[in-house]
Amino acid sequence: MGGPEKWQVAPDAGRPDGRACAHLDLLEDWRPTPAASPAACQGCLVRGLPRVRLRQCVTCGYVGCCDSSRGRHAYGHHVESGHPVAVSLAADEDWAWCFPDEVFLVRVGGDVADPPAGRGPHPREAP
């Protein structure tokens, strides 16, 4: 189509304005990869866990379950790899999450109401 898609930080009523993401450039040319075709998180399949929603790592294409799943494999992948951004693969969601910056990312011109309300897809552990 007409070049790379632009992404932006989604407004979040629960947080101060002016939040930024240092990793937006990772999404410029991102497209789902064939690794996104499995209908389940491989980590959950191995352990026999049910999954809730799938997320795909923008850096390497790893597909893991969301933080509402018992396995939280997308977040675990971020912790292990340091890869910062995952995109929701759910058909009814059109957003990404930046783990280090703790912000939702949406396509410019997209529905900014798509991201879940509140703090983000994973609770930060207390120090």
Q: In degrees rounded to 5, what are phi and psi of residue 83? A: -65, 125
Q: 10 Å Cβ neighbour count for 48?
A: 6
d(CA 88, CA 24): 15
Residue 54 burial (C-beta neighbours within 10 Å; 0-12, 13-18, 19+): buried
Query: Over its length of 127 residues, how does the chain's per-residue pLDDT go in tens digits?
Result: 455 678 999 887 677 677 899 999 999 888 776 655 556 788 898 888 887 899 999 999 899 999 988 899 999 999 999 999 999 998 888 899 999 999 999 988 766 555 665 445 544 433 2
The three-state secondary structure class of 64 is: strand
What pTM did the predictor assign? 0.79
Q: In degrees rounded to 5, what are phi and psi of residue 77? A: -60, -45
d(CA 44, CA 33): 20
